[in-house]
Structure 1
Amino acid sequence: MQATQLWWILCLAPFAAAAEQNDGLQALAEIERTAEAFLAARATGGTASAVPLDQRLRLASCEQPLQAYLRDGAKIRQRTIVGVRCTGPQPWKVYVPVNIVVTETVLVLANNLPRGHALTAADLKREKRDVSRLPGGYLASIDEAVGHRLKQSLRAGNIVTPGALQAALLIRRGQTVTLNAATDAISIRMTGKALMDGALNQRIRVENTSSGRVVEGIVRSAERVEVLVQ
């Protein structure tokens, strides 16, 4: 045998051995795709993405179409365990974690910002993000966030959630406001002075400038406070 031929045989031997080892084994990617397709057909929204199986897993190649299923009582959640089984001559079953990914356009911060910062349009941008793991919700419109202050420092790229924002103040302490007191029979308007800051629908104390009486009311706009009538 020539030296060149011997060299090729020695070089190709490891690849031939690997091919023999993989022959007759089930492709793990096919199992993952089966689980994804099964869940995607049943989920109400989003896309299904299987967690990759351990590459050390060795299963006999299935001669029948793979069957996906949910265990008794299982419900579809953000991460759902999907069973995949083979009913061929060498049966087996394996469980595949599958994530449901819901992508929406959300607000994110364009810059690193400190606690207490009042957001402007320049601080915000809109990006497509996975919102399936945001139990506190998210904001989609820049108008929903402008003017609100941050409850904590946040970094650029963080998703802006309702829980991260303080309500924008509509009324400032010392500001002149219109007091409105109404019943089914009558409505009265008077001038007052806010004794504390107030956001929309927040309860604040206000002094009636005519009588000097301090009352409580609900902030309804940047100028109007609805007096609570007992």
Structure 2
Amino acid sequence: MIHRVFISFFLLSLSCSGHSQSWYEQLEASLKQNLSEQIIAMAENMGLAEYEYDIDLNYLDDRLNLSTCQIPLTIEAPQPLELGRSHIKVACQDTSPWALNVPTNVNLFADIVVLNQPLAKDQVIDEAHLDLQRQNLADQRNGYYLKKEQVIGKQSKRALAGQTILNSYLILPALMIYKGDKVMIIASKGAMSVKMPGEALNDGREGRQIRVKNSRSERIVRGKVVAPGQVLVQF
């Protein structure tokens, strides 16, 4: 795994005397370790092989008359960790207690799926349309895709410009069934399932509900498109 980390701290005052660790040096070190561990765990859970991250701690004023904590600091970071700007409460709970809300800015950079050319509305997306581009995930409030395979075969909801970062608001699930297609209806209840032939009464996209007619009983039911030519009906 390859990753880089950039950590910066902005102090309103940089005056410091002696060699003992000051309260703000202690706070910086504790937050750095805590947030770095959380970001690395997040990246691993996302399956990121290569990434970079940076952590900014803003406006720590070393002129505050606070003492170095004699026990480990308590850090109340959001769970799960939020990328972007937030405030994190850091507290000392020894005999001289204190607490601060520290403004932070956490950024995680990784490769995500973008278009390398314009697409027309309803165009089916294939691999030739796609590139991977390094972006700050903290800026992707509408979501993103990490792998091209998550997008290939789907359709654009509207015309899209080249370099567009793809997300679920911009694309439609793949159209797997057309009205009039012969389909396999899979009737499922618990661990039991029965297959029967049927006919699609409307077009169906992956994961969407459509109406199908049982070719044997002529009964019309609704089911979820799970694969090309397959509709799951749960009872």
TM-score bin (small chain): 0.5 to 0.7
In structure 2, give the amino acid aligned to 1:99: N
Question: How far does residue 96 in structure 1 lie from its aligned partner after superposition?
Answer: 9.5
Distance 1:139 1:190, change over 3 A: same
**CA offset digits 1:139-198 (Å, max 9, x no partner):** 111111011112233222221112322111221111101122244697543221101111
- Does the alignment pair 1:31 with 2:37? no
User: Structure 2 matches for 1:209-228, cutoff 5 A?
Assistant: 209-228=215-234
Question: How many residues are paired up?
Answer: 175
Bigger share in helix: 1
Offset from partner CA, 1:64-108 (integer Å, 9 cap, x none):
xxx9xxxxx9857522469xxxxxxxxxxxx99653211111101
State how far apart, in whole Å, the 2-side matches of 1:187 and 1:30 are: 62
User: Which of residues 191, 195, 198 in structure 2 aligns to 1:192?
Assistant: 198
Could you tell me how far apart the structure 2 residues matched to 1:162 and 1:180 are? Answer: 27
Structure 1 residues 97, 218: closer, same or farther in 2, change over 3 A?
A: closer
* Structure 1 CA distance for aligned equivalents of residues 227 and 57 of structure 2: 49
Q: Does 1:172 align with 2:178?
A: yes
Q: Contact 2:121 / 2:156 at 8 angstroms: preserved in 1?
A: yes
Alpha-carbon distance in structure 1 between the residues aligned to 2:149 and 2:225: 20
1:113 matched to 2:119? The reply is: yes
Alpha-carbon distance in 1 for matches of 2:175, 2:10: 56
Instruction: Give 3-state SS (helix, strand or coil) of 1:102's partner.
Output: strand
Matched-pair contact (CA < 8 Å) for 1:216–1:228:
no
Distance change >3 Å, CA 48–CA 201, structure 1 → 2: same
Change (3 A) 1:101 1:184: closer
- Please, what TM-score do these two structures have when normalized by structure 1? 0.60
Unaligned runs of 5+ in 2: 1-8, 15-23, 40-52, 69-74, 89-100
**Structure index of larger Rg:** 1
Single out whichever of 159-168 and 142-151 deviates more from structure 2: 159-168
Structure 1 residue matching 2:139: 3-state secondary structure: coil
Aligned: 1:181 with 2:161: no
For residue 152 of structure 1, give the secondary structure of its aligned residue in structure 2: coil
Distance 1:152 1:42, change over 3 A: farther
Residue of structure 1 equivalent to 2:142: 136
Alignment of 1:82-93 (within 5 A): none
> What stretches of structure 1 of length at least 5 have no aligned partner?
1-28, 54-61, 68-72, 83-94
1:47 is the counterpart of 2:27: no
Partner of 2:85: 79
Q: Which letter maps to 2:167? A: T
Does the CA-based 8 Å contact 2:10-2:57 persist in structure 1?
A: no
Deviates more, 1:98-107 or 1:39-48: 39-48
CA contact (8 A) 1:109 1:124 kept: yes
Q: Is the 8 A contact 1:40 1:47 kept in 2?
A: no
Residue 16 of structure 1 is matched in structure 2 by none
- AA matched with 2:169: G
Partner of 1:205: 211
When you count strand as a share of all residues, which structure comes out higher?
A: 2
Once the two structures are superposed, the pairs formed by residues 4-23 of structure 1 within 5 Å of their partners are: none
The percentage of aligned residue pairs carrying the same residue is 24
Q: Match for 1:162 among 168, 172, 176? A: 168
Distance 1:155 1:178, change over 3 A: same
CA contact (8 A) 1:115 1:154 kept: yes
Q: CA RMSD in A?
A: 3.8
